[in-house]
């Protein structure tokens, strides 16, 4: 019976351990620090029959009451409207059953959607080529930074302090054992990158400068001006996009001579769900093709002239010599990329622009209403997209607790990642918010503050 779920028995496990030269399964996990290991038994019930199991999860699901709340929380995780066609088409068996196109001749549909996904990402970022997706925005940021080290010689990478804090953590993790300095460039009083400090920090050892746009505070950076400064130093300019809906209304980074554009595409048809799944993207110039991580699907014709799709570039350790691989990425996010493709093709150019416009206008309305309140103020006087920072006269955690009592999820509290913004929170407004939602939020703030 146990083999129904665990294909290897005790004797087989011992045989495998003996073959690889270890005495126990626990020895395989010795590299994990003891303080991180769970010693006690997991708090899960014993075996259940099918009906009991369904009832058990149904009871648990009743605890999910998120529909009762209106969320103003963004910070890299955005609540956008998803047309029903995205769910319907992406759930078709033809798309769900292929895993990843190791056998291109068997997965033409998957390869075609990946090809279309790459084309769409290239168009909205204004870049020449895009890869076939990465795990998430954080890993895309780190892969972009690693790619820069392969393209330019130097000893340090400059990153903006207003990059998503979790993206910065991932970059530091990837570079932990590499001999590169990661130098953080602070933000100005306006919440934008401090241009003067950036100019002073750039030198012959600077490989690249990485910025987020709009930045983590939701502020729109002057990409064109920054690009000129970075290029005059001979460094690469990398731009991260956490909220790609903004590209429906903002000029594509590729028009400002950006070298690599990376980011998170969760906003394109992927719902929020306990932190995942997410979808990283990376696009670049054609001249950097060979140093791009991941894989690339291409279009061709067969011997009979029929249109077909193939894996064109797979600079991975499974396909080429390990030391020449540009990444150890073992799979991609093909299904998430499929949802992004369906979303973008459903919305079209005008639809994406309309969604982007609604995000911008509703956020402006919320900013205007909040600026009329006492005991709260807008922290930065700069142009935003759909997020902005407010400063309360109280502890923002206390404010959020009282908002939650009124069925509102407040803003992202910034003091953990930005101690200097102790009483500040990052609010987010998207096209899903009705005017009544924003007005109710403002009325609640009036009573709380």
Per-residue pLDDT tens digits for 200-245: 999 999 999 999 999 999 999 999 999 999 999 999 999 999 999 9
Q: Indicate the SS3 state at residue 160.
A: strand
Question: pTM for the full model?
Answer: 0.88
Could you tell me the pLDDT band of residue 257, with boundaries at 50, 70 and 90? very high
Question: Which of 264 and 110 is assigned the larger pLDDT?
Answer: 264
% of residues, the chain, pLDDT over 70 = 93
Asked whether the beta carbons of 147 and 291 are under 8 A apart, the reply is yes
Alpha carbon of residue 143 to chain centroid = 13
Torsion of CA 228, 229, 232, 233, to 10 degrees: -150
Nearest CA to 151 out of 237, 226, 228, 233 is that of 237
pLDDT of residue 1: 44
pLDDT, averaged across the chain: 92
Query: Which H helix or E strand runs over 261?
Result: strand 260-264
pLDDT at 6 over 70: no
Length, in residues, of the chain: 449
**How far is Cα 210 from Cα 239, in angstroms, rounded to an integer?**
6
The pLDDT of 13-41, averaged and rounded, is 91
**How far is Cα 355 from Cα 377, in angstroms, rounded to an integer?**
27
Torsion of CA 404, 407, 408, 414, to 10 degrees: 20
């Amino acid at each position: 019976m146990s083999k129904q779920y665990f294909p290897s028995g005790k004797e087989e496990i011992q045989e495998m351990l003996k073959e690889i030269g270890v005495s126990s399964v626990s020895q395989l996990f010795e590299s994990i620090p003891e303080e991180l290991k769970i010693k006690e038994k997991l708090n899960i019930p014993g075996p259940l029959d099918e009906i009991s199991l369904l009832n058990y999860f149904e009871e648990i699901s009743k605890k999910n009451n998120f529909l009762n709340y209106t969320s103003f929380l963004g910070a890299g995780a955005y609540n956008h409207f998803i047309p029903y066609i995205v769910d319907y088409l992406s759930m078709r068996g033809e798309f769900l059953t292929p895993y990843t196109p190791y056998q291109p001749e068997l997965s033409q549909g998957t390869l075609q959607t990946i090809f279309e996904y790459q084309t769409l990402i290239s168009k909205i970022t204004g870049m020449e080529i895009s890869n076939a997706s990465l795990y998430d925005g954080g890993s895309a940021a780190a892969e972009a930074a690693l790619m820069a080290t392969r393209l330019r010689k130097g000893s340090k990478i400059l990153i903006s302090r207003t990059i998503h804090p979790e993206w910065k953590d991932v970059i530091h993790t990837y570079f932990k054992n590499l001999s590169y300095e990661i130098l953080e460039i602070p933000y100005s009083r306006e919440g934008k990158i401090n241009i003067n400090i950036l100019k002073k920090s750039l030198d012959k050892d600077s490989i690249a400068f990485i910025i987020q746009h709009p930045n983590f505070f939701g502020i729109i950076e002057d990409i064109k001006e920054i690009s000129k400064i970075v290029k005059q130093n001979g460094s690469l300019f990398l731009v991260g996009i956490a909220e790609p809906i903004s590209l429906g209304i903002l000029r594509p980074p590729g028009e400002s001579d950006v070298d690599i554009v990376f980011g998170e595409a969760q906003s394109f048809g992927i719902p929020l769900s306990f932190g995942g799944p997410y979808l990283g993207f990376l696009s670049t110039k054609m001249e950097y093709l060979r140093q791009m991580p991941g894989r690339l699907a291409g279009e061709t014709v067969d011997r009979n002239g029929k249109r077909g799709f193939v894996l064109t570039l797979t600079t991975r350790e499974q396909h080429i010599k390990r030391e020449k691989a540009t990444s150890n990425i073992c799979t991609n996010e093909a299904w998430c990329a499929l949802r992004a493709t369906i979303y973008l093709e459903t919305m079209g150019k005008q639809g994406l622009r309309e969604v982007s416009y609604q995000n911008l206008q509703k956020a402006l309305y919320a900013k205007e209403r909040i600026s009329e309140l006492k005991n709260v103020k807008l922290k930065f006087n700069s142009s935003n997209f759909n997020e902005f920072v407010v400063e309360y006269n109280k502890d923002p955690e206390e404010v959020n607790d009282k908002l939650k009592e009124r069925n509102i999820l407040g803003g992202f509290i910034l003091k953990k990642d930005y101690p200097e913004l102790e009483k500040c929170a990052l609010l987010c407004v998207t096209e899903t918010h009705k005017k009544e939602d924003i007005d109710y939020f403002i009325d609640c703030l009036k009573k709380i503050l």
